[in-house]
């Protein structure tokens, strides 16, 4: 085998290892993109069907992607997902559920509670831990901050897209259009938000409660199959 062949084999091996190590994220992102594409196509067809029923000319697919109909439908769902994850990250810091794999053990110290300021610093220690100060304060809360920032952005884009879609309906009925701020005060906006928020927190409650008694062998979201129901945490 030549040096070039060896390099190619090593590259393929390294790439295969990288795929194996990141497969969960990659597969979830692939499913997300496929579903987003499916949503865009089906939403485009639904929107133009509604346009035709109102004797209005259909719009091109590219225009649909920047329409209030698509923006609202996309971000009202993202908004609820990011709220759920951000709230869950914060609530699991302080609250417990006896017997659940989703809870920290009750009355026991865990590594997640360790103060990073007292950690032994090495070359692989994250830079914010080595830097300390305000950078570390932000870093030790960065996961919750990340989700709440995404929630805030999605909340706003839901309002922007929703105001455009709501205004179209208003104008069709001879009523005035609304601004984004005005749309935030409508029952329509809060109905759209709450119908998504309630389902997200129901899903969280379901996995927290179900993981006390039910198992999935091989999943880190489940306790080991033979573990007693009362045992809490991993």
* Torsion sign (Cα): 184, 188, 189, 195: positive
* Per-residue pLDDT tens over the stretch 3-50: 666 666 777 788 899 999 999 999 999 999 999 999 999 999 999 999
| Distance separating alpha carbons of residues 155 and 83, to the nearest angstrom | 9
* Per-residue pLDDT tens over the stretch 45-101: 999 999 998 888 999 999 999 999 999 999 999 999 999 999 999 999 999 999 999
Average pLDDT, integer, range 138-145: 97
| Distance separating alpha carbons of residues 226 and 158, to the nearest angstrom | 45
Checking if the pLDDT of 166 tops 90, the result is yes
């Amino acid at each position: 085998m030549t040096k070039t062949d060896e390099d190619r084999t090593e590259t393929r091996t390294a790439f295969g290892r990288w795929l194996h190590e990141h497969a969960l994220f990659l597969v979830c992102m692939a499913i997300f993109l496929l579903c987003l594409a499916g949503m865009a196509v089906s939403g485009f067809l639904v929107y133009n069907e509604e346009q035709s029923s109102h004797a209005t000319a259909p719009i091109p697919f590219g225009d649909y992607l920047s329409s209030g109909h698509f923006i609202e439908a996309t971000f009202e769902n993202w908004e609820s997902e990011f709220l759920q994850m951000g709230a869950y990250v914060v609530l699991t810091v302080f609250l417990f559920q006896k017997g659940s794999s989703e809870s920290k053990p009750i009355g026991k110290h865990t590594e997640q509670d360790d103060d990073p300021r007292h950690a032994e610093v090495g070359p692989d220690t994250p830079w914010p831990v080595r830097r300390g100060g305000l950078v570390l304060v932000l870093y030790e809360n960065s996961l919750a901050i990340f989700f709440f920032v995404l929630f805030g952005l999605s909340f706003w884009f839901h309002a922007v897209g929703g105001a455009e879609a709501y205004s179209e309906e208003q104008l069709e009925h001879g009523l005035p259009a609304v601004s984004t701020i005005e749309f935030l005060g409508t029952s329509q906006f809060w109905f759209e938000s709450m119908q998504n928020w309630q389902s997200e927190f129901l899903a969280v409650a379901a996995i927290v409660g179900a993981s006390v008694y039910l198992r999935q062998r091989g999943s880190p979201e489940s306790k080991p199959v033979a573990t007693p129901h009362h045992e809490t945490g991993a």
